[in-house]
Amino acid sequence: MLQQHLSLYAHTQPNNIALQGQDFSLSYAELQRAVVTLQSTLQAITNHAPVAIAIENHPAWVVLDLALTANALPVVPIPAFFSPTQVQHALQDAGVKILITDQASDLMPLLAKQIDAENTLVVAGKTLTLFYLNIPAKALPPNTAKVTYTSGTTGNPKGVCLSLEAMLQVANSIQLATQLSARSAPLRIATRYFARKRSRRVCQFTDGGLCPFTASSTNRVYW
């Protein structure tokens, strides 16, 4: 359904801006082409295993997420505020086989014993590193599209498995409640709160809106 919305707006409003970053933007037509191209690339390398994303607030995050979701690959967002111990726990707990990041120099020492290979990939003008990890596979519930972790108050981060259907249901509810449309002004609510729920970003796509991004050391897209 999400891909159908993207295809619709790529044809009906191809030049409208879908993603706006500080130094990079994508129209709906450009976004669809980027997703389709990346979808083919990722299909060849991910082997249907969970993929973690640790990237700053940037259009590349969305392109990656859409391509992975189109390939029915579970996505594991790594929050920027996680400690090294929490990052390790999330990767192990979800059975992540590939980590895609723009923070390779920070994560490489932490994952040195788990990295089997690495590669680079350019997405939405951003050069990313792919770490292939030797973490044991884990069985996730059927139809898991996203595994989100919260730090909690005690113990290890707790993971919640979300289906695409459930996220789209919430997105549609938000869309109806806020009456978002392609003519709506971009919602510039503080990103670190606004973007923690993937559905709130998705609702802008399902009605042809614009998703703005503000990159900083503390703000990330947590779809």
Domains of the chain: 2-212 (3.40.50.12780)
Measured at the CA of 124, the angle between CA 119 and CA 128, to 5 degrees, comes to 25
Tally of CB atoms within 10 A around 205? 23
pLDDT 10s per residue in the chain (223 long)? 677 888 888 888 899 888 888 888 899 999 999 999 999 888 877 677 899 999 988 899 999 999 999 998 999 999 888 999 999 999 999 999 999 999 999 999 999 999 999 999 999 999 999 999 999 999 999 999 999 998 766 678 889 999 998 988 887 787 787 766 655 544 433 333 233 444 444 544 555 555 666 555 443 333 3
| CA nearest neighbour of 202 among 16, 17, 2, 1 | 2
CA distance 55 to 71: 20
CA distance 120 to 104: 10
Identify whether the C-beta of residue 135 lies closer than 8 Å to the C-beta of residue 114: yes
State residue 210's pLDDT score: 57
State residue 120's pLDDT score: 95
CA distance 48 to 97: 9
For the packed helices 2-12 and 198-206, what is the interaxial angle rounded to 10 degrees?
40
Residue carrying the six token digits 């709160």: 193
